[in-house]
Amino acid sequence: MKYSIKLNAVNNPDKNVKAFATVTFGDCFKITNIAVVKSQEAEPFVSMPSFKSKERTEHNQPVYKDVCNPITSEFRKELYDDILSLYAEMEQSGKTEVSRDAENAQEPEFRVAVTPFEREGSNIRGLARIYFEACFVVSNVSIIQGKEKEFVAMPSYMVKQNGGKSQYQDVCFPVTKEFREKLYDALMDCYQQERDKAMNQGIGPMSRFSTS
């Protein structure tokens, strides 16, 4: 899978996070908030964007789970090595931003998986995953019941703006209108199919994890 990388330095020597990477698959789907982490003595490593789950460790510490991540060892090594190579270039050059563009980038193949979901008091109607070329997965995609219709919501996190207000910002998202429509249509079609299948089987809207 072809991808481009942009790396921005974190201007805070007291932080272990030294830079954030943005990876774009085929110039049409972007992954942000990928951290390059380095302590004083250790080698730098890549940390994918994550969220705090409701699970706890045996020591009652919160369990963090990746929002998105490589799912093959080959692609993990390729992607992480490329990010760390770009970080080494950043350190050597002293630049605060470096990038590497993909050559002949093509729209990546993908498949989606949706679980119909309903809980009292929640407007979430489905939980979804997106698999890119069988080597990278985006989790925490939601089907939301809006005022007029259901819609797709990509994984997001809360950020503070300059004025002190907070707002949600997507962690990963389609870049082009054409790919957004193609991806979101696939997610909604899968959701409708799985919901209809669950209703026909008489097991209600809450069902097992299903793939298309």
Pairing assessment for the beta strands 210-211 and 45-47 based on DSSP bridges: unpaired
User: What local confidence, expressed as pLDDT, does residue 210 receive?
Assistant: 38
Instruction: Write the CATH number for 33.
Output: 3.30.1120.40
Whether 168 is covered by a domain: the verdict is yes
Distance (Å, whole) CA 154 – CA 139:
9
* pLDDT beneath 50: ranges in the chain: 205-212
Instruction: Count other C-beta atoms under 10 Å from residue 76's C-beta.
Output: 16
Residues 32-49 pLDDT 10s: 999 999 987 789 999 999
User: What local confidence, expressed as pLDDT, does residue 74 receive?
Assistant: 98
Distance (Å, whole) CA 169 – CA 186:
23
Pairing assessment for the beta strands 97-100 and 110-116 based on DSSP bridges: unpaired
Name the region of 132 (left: φ>0; alpha: ψ -120 to 50; beta: rest). Answer: beta
User: What local confidence, expressed as pLDDT, does residue 110 receive?
Assistant: 97
User: What local confidence, expressed as pLDDT, does residue 209 receive?
Assistant: 38
User: What local confidence, expressed as pLDDT, does residue 32 receive?
Assistant: 97
Q: By CB neighbour count within 10 A (0-12 exposed, 13-18 middle, 19+ buried), where does 121 fall?
A: exposed
User: What local confidence, expressed as pLDDT, does residue 13 receive?
Assistant: 78
> pTM for this one?
0.87
Question: Both 79 and 161 in a single domain?
Answer: no
Question: Both 130 and 174 in a single domain?
Answer: yes
In this structure, the chain runs to a length of 212
Residues 133-148 pLDDT 10s: 999 999 999 999 998 8
User: What local confidence, expressed as pLDDT, does residue 212 receive?
Assistant: 37
Domain boundary, last residue among 100, 127, 157: 100
What residue type is assigned to position 33 of the chain? N
Whether 56 is covered by a domain: the verdict is no
User: What local confidence, expressed as pLDDT, does residue 211 receive?
Assistant: 37
